[in-house]
Structure 1
Amino acid sequence: MAAYGQNAASITSLQPEISKILQSNIDKYNPSNIHIMEDYVEAQAREGHYDLEANLLLLKLYQLNPGGSYSAARASYVAKVLLMGLMQLPRNDFQICKALTEPELTRVLRIQDVMRLETSLETCQFDFFWNDLDRCRDTVAGVEGFDTAIRNYICSVIGMTNQTIKERQLIGYLGPGLPYEKFKRLVEEKGWRIQGDKTDRSIFIKDQTMTIKPRKITEAIDFADVATILSAAAQ
């Protein structure tokens, strides 16, 4: 029998038991499942895996079994669940997970860190996001691929809202910790183009007018409707 609670189990070793729990109608909400679900969250964060259904079940188990003095210990797992939900933007996974988070846990500093990061992203305060992230790196430690996922989300927002953008501004949006070579590679992967000289570079994203499609509106009027209108007008 696997030894749960040591945070060393792999996704592969945990998935059969997790799958059995998720498919069970009777045993699904057994509080004894909490430890293996916590291990599964750790394995997801460590290996770059994501299982929303399992994560929501852990949050529900926490709700059904209040932690009391153990709430602070639970906060590390909840923070990871929320961070992995944040990585799915623009999907609403984060909001779903937030809705199931125990209110008392929102007073824990690391949970507040995650909530603040989410607000910065949702309000497109990308410069502030990276500055704030530097101050709470311990909170996101152990969540594989977090920075990359957030940069992809920021790029999706920029791609929908800009035709061109100054290179310096985009670098600021994507975080000062991104080496320039990786920045150029990311721009190329998105199909964007660096243009201009070294002192005044900009990024051409796309011609937004090309995405605007004319819409032909055809209104159909029945003969009976026309007859009614003409009859009313003649009176």
Structure 2
Amino acid sequence: MSRPESRPEEIHLIVETVDRYNPQNISVLEEYVATQLASNQYDRTACLALLKLYQFNPSEVNLYVVASILALALGALPESDFTLCLYLLREDWLEDPLVAHLVHMHNLLEQTKFAAFWRYLEEEDAVREFTSNDYPLFEENVREFIATTLGMTFQTISIERLEEMLDLSGEDLGDWVKSREGWGVNADDDSLVDLPVTAWNQARSVVVQEDIRFEQLTKILARSRVAQ
């Protein structure tokens, strides 16, 4: 992965050299994770390097920081970073309540259960407080992923359904739709929103291919000669 423009030189020298295995750099990388949350500047390489250090030095693990990295990876969907992070976690770390919340939320998003995702976020005070205080653009990033998914599926969607999937309504939803290129209220039915046509959601012709073995083909040709 190329170096993010926001990555400080100090961090770059850690993650791109043998220093990424030095446990003395754990605190530096932890501070960098907090900076990423606040600035919405995600650095996958640095996050994975910290999880690897935790894996090698389990007594040094900070599960709040682990949850922070998972939240950043969740905000990077549809990239597969969240799964990469899970591979580096010990089983007992998954029992941490905040970590478990984020894993469940990832499952809901992967299953496109968007309305259930927003309900879960609203009901779980711990994760809602965490994202609100430490990762202010978390919801915006999740909506970006949902919009990408909807754009691959629909050309038109009802406003009612869009409200459920994005957890937005009224002027908030209207402003959000206006901010997206190619999105807009349907000219003939103001209860619908039109999405831009893409290579994913456009209608495709269906080609049916029927495979016939050579032995079957010779029998068919023989019968046709008899019929003649």
Query: Fold conserved (TM > 0.5)?
Result: yes
Aligned in 2, Cα 1:16/1:206: closer, same or farther, shift over 3 Å? closer
- Is contact 2:36-2:42 (8 Å) kept? yes
The CA deviation at 1:204 is 2.0
Q: Where does structure 2 lack aligned partners over 5 or more consecutive residues? A: 208-217, 223-228
RMSD: 2.5
Name which of 174, 183, 193 aligns with 1:192. 183
Q: Any runs of at least 4 consecutive aligned residues in structure 1 with deviations exceeding 4 A, and if so which?
A: 206-211
| Cα distance in 2, alignment partners of residues 207 and 37 from structure 1 | 42
Name which of 31, 36, 39 aligns with 2:31. 39
Task: Determine whether 1:61 maps to 2:53.
Answer: yes
- Structure-to-structure mapping, 1:1-235, within 5 angstroms: 15-25=8-18, 27-67=19-59, 71=61, 74-136=62-124, 137-141=128-132, 142-175=134-167, 178=168, 180-188=170-178, 189-195=180-186, 201-206=191-196, 210=202, 212=204
| Cα distance in 1, alignment partners of residues 78 and 35 from structure 2 | 24
Percent of matched pairs sharing the same residue: 30
- 1:118-137 CA-to-partner distances (Å, cap 9, x unmatched) read 01100111111001011230
TM-score by length of 1: 0.76
What is the aligned residue count?
A: 198
TM-score by length of 2: 0.78
- Is contact 1:63-1:101 (8 Å) kept? yes
| Cα distance in 2, alignment partners of residues 93 and 156 from structure 1 | 17
Amino acid paired to 1:37? L
| Cα distance in 2, alignment partners of residues 95 and 162 from structure 1 | 27
Q: Where does structure 1 lack aligned partners over 5 or more consecutive residues? A: 1-10, 216-228
